[in-house]
Structure 1
Amino acid sequence: MSQLILLNKPYGVICQFSEHPLHPTLKSCVPLSGVYPAGRLDTDSEGLLLLTGEGPLQHRISDPRWKLPKTYWVQVEGQASDEQLAQLRAGVDLGDFTTQPAQARRIDAPELWERKPPVRFRKTVPDCWLEIVISEGKNRQVRRMTAKVGLPTLRLVRVAIGPWRLDGLLPGEMRSLEVNLEDLPRVQHAGRGGKPGDRPQQRQAPQSAKGVKTPAFRFARGKKP
């Protein structure tokens, strides 16, 4: 069994342990040695970050051949139309690459912790929340996707990576789990070492024009390892 740390990375924290001149680092909320991020999360994004000191587990989580689906709750500027959601689901040409098809749907505003600093709104422009699920991890991908279809991101929170979810962790809190490497999904994606046809099928996203009810975030405090 390998130890896996689930951290709710606060807004403004940079995903490194070495000192940074402008931002607090993971050292400010992870009082452990010998663990490293399995993947990254942008400094201006919040939510689930996985850390481990086990090389095989870190490789399995972060290697492009074994990309686990990542679920984001995204507050965007504007009201998402069916056409814009269809663009996200089909794949978005970002110039340097075209994204793989994603799951995208409107959701009701989730009950989350207050962000510090708060999101800056334009009073004359409405906003809405989306749930977006991708299995890639390119730099600032979700933000670039929403901006490309005309929905600039205001706030981005990652709530799940594969089978692991925040489940009540507040910003800066973490939880330790024991993980059996053999229990992780074994399907490889096409490309970067995968074979054509190995990519898991995307679930059909809801087509309703109305918002989808989203379970409230549970504020139970997580146990620190």
Structure 2
Amino acid sequence: MPLIALNKPFGTICQFSQHDTRASLADWVKTPGVYPAGRLDADSEGLLLLTDDGALQARIAEPRHKLVKRYWAQVEGAVDETALKALARGVDLGDYVTRPCRAEFVEPPETLWPRTPPIRYRAAIPTTWIELAITEGKNRQVRRMTAAVGFPTLRLVRVGIGALDIFALGLEPGQTTTLPPRAPWDGIA
């Protein structure tokens, strides 16, 4: 019953089958029979957990369990308190309204690895780093939320799942580590 943490690199798709133009999980995870507990789109990076335990996979991924996932988003523009409060209250995305979440400013992270390729840089347009802690994780949710309040996401990194933190795990992009399947992480095991 392995539980594997991967720092999913930018551009990697969340499936094991090979892709013509992108890396897949098979390029980074060599343990057979595991599957991602939740997904990150190809343009997102960071902490991804994989397991062969269906109950644990559901506990991590399904929104009804309300396991917190933390994201750092670099967004285009100078985010103000009004936008941050709107994100925290929940955002109407047209097809659903997001649950309330924690939204706060973070300093440009020095501990974060460089992205390859780097995001576009525009001298005349500032960027802001924010942290969102959500319990849903629907398709492209964080990107849709920031865009809905007027600040498109340029870079998105999942930095935590429950009590797990990618920096505490010490994983560089593409690196994995095997975790004990019954560790005392909030709500995971």
Q: Given the two structures, how large is their TM-score scaled by the length of structure 1?
A: 0.78
Alpha-carbon distance in 2 for matches of 1:86, 1:59:
30
Total equivalences in the alignment: 185
1:57–1:181 CA contact under 8 A, matched in 2: no
Show the counterpart of 1:117: 117
Change (3 A) 1:30 1:86: same
- Per-residue CA deviations over 1:164-209 (Å, capped at 9, x if unaligned) read 11122100001111122897539xxxxxxxxxxxxxxxxxxxxxxx
- Gaps spanning 5+ residues in structure 2: where? none
Amino acid of the structure 2 residue aligned with 1:149: V
Match of 1:163 in 2: 163
Deviation for aligned residue 1:21: 2.1
In 1, Cα distance between the equivalents of 2:76 and 2:139? 21
Tell me the equivalent position of 2:175.
Answer: 173
Letter in 2 for 1:150: G
For the residues of structure 1 that align with 2:121 and 2:95, how far apart are their CA atoms? 30
Identity %: 55
Is contact 1:69-1:162 (8 Å) kept?
yes
Matched-pair contact (CA < 8 Å) for 1:73–1:159? yes
Partner residue of 1:143?
A: 143
List gaps (5 residues or longer) in structure 1.
187-225
Distance in 2 between residues matched to 1:15 and 1:126, nearest whole Å: 31
Instruction: Work out which of the two has the higher radius of gyration on C-alpha atoms and give 1 or 2.
Output: 1
Instruction: Note if contact 1:7-1:49 (Cα within 8 Å) is conserved in structure 2.
Output: yes
Root-mean-square deviation (CA, aligned residues, Å) is 1.6
Q: How is 1:57-68 mapped onto 2 (pairs within 5 angstroms)?
A: 57-68=56-67
Separation in 1, partners of 2:83, 2:185: 36
- What one-letter code is carried by the residue in structure 2 that aligns with 1:164? L
Distance 1:142-1:157 versus aligned 2 partners, 3 A rule = same
CA distance in structure 1 between the aligned counterparts of 2:154 and 2:63, rounded to whole angstroms: 27
Question: In 1, distance between residues paired with 2:120 and 2:53?
Answer: 39
CA contact (8 A) 1:12 1:44 kept: yes
**Aligned partners of 1:177 and 1:37: how far apart in 2?**
14
Counterpart of 2:106, as a letter, is: I
Which residue does the alignment assign to 1:95?
Answer: 94
User: What residue in structure 2 maps to residue 46 of structure 1?
Assistant: 45
What letter is aligned with 2:104?
A: R
TM-score scaled by structure 2? 0.93
CA distance in 2, matches of 1:63, 1:181: 19
Deviates more, 1:158-167 or 1:173-182: 173-182
CA contact (8 A) 1:4 1:176 kept: yes
Query: Counterpart amino acid of 1:185?
Result: G
Instruction: State how 1:1-225 maps to structure 2 within 5 Å.
Output: 2-111=1-110, 112-166=112-166, 167=168, 168-180=170-182, 185=187
| Contact 2:83–2:149, Cα closer than 8 Å, also in 1 | yes
